[in-house]
Amino acid sequence: MFEIAPSILSADFTRLGKEIAEIEKGGATVLHFDVMDGRFVPNLTVGIPVLKSVRKFTKMTIDCHLMIVEPSKYAVEFVKAGADMVSVHVEADVHLQRTLMAIREAGGKAGIAINPATPLIALEEALPYADFILLMSVNPGFGGQKFIPTSLDKLKRLRRMIDERGLSTRIEIDGGIDAANIHEIVEAGAEIIVAGSAVFGGGKPAEAVTELLEKGTVWA
Ligand code: DX5
Ligand code: ZN
């Protein structure tokens, strides 16, 4: 079973409510909310006030991807503002285990996001404290980038790493995913599939989500 998590970064923010209603109609169950600070990544996006509005509007699982420096300062604030899942980058937090525990204690699911060039071994010690891993398949900062091909092998190795330890940590993958590559990504063990431009780029978000769900389905 996998879920589609449309990234609202590629949505039309002047009609965000309608865009969210559309993706729900198409079968999306998770809403991916990209937070950028212009420091960890070279771009700025949205934060707590927009999250609060979105929370009032939808019952979907809200998944906040914090692409910010010093994420420990804000992670719990995002849970309090309505996020169900919060991920912090392993590259951004020197006290990662503490931040993950704080997210859990606040009632959220705690995730570790990892950049394409960061080795999986950087996750090892914190893995038992994470509910999910957000594997980046592009360098974070912008929507609409191309899937980095070596991410597929990294995904398979992450799947193995989690299974070998008998953990139930879920794998989310983010960046450059579309109807053409989703099948092999699901087959490789990803459970939450983020898609921004593939969902909102064509102007028909509901249909795009349904197509991703169909194309990603792995028949036994
Ligand atoms: C990139 C963001 C992604 C992005 C994905 O920094 O973390 O969530 O919105 O967009 P696509 O699916 O267009 O690569
Ligand atoms: Zn993201």
Question: pLDDT band for position 218 (50/70/90)?
Answer: confident
Give SS3 for 111.
strand
pLDDT digits (tens, 9 = 90+) for 90-104: 999 999 999 999 999
d(CA 149, CA 34): 22
pLDDT digits (tens, 9 = 90+) for 19-62: 999 999 999 999 999 999 999 999 999 999 999 999 999 999 99
Alpha helices in 27-150 (DSSP H): 48-57, 75-80, 96-105
Task: Tell me, in angstroms, the distance from the centre of ligand 2 to residue 20's CA.
Answer: 16
Phi-psi region of 141 (alpha: psi -120 to 50; beta: other; left: phi over 0): left
Task: Tell me, in angstroms, the distance from the centre of ligand 2 to residue 125's CA.
Answer: 23
Closest ligand by atom to 196 CA: 1
For residue 136, give the H/E element and its range: strand 132-136
In the structure, which protein residues have their CB atom closer than 6 angstroms to any atom of ligand 1?
7, 9-10, 32, 34, 65, 138, 140-145, 174-177, 194-198
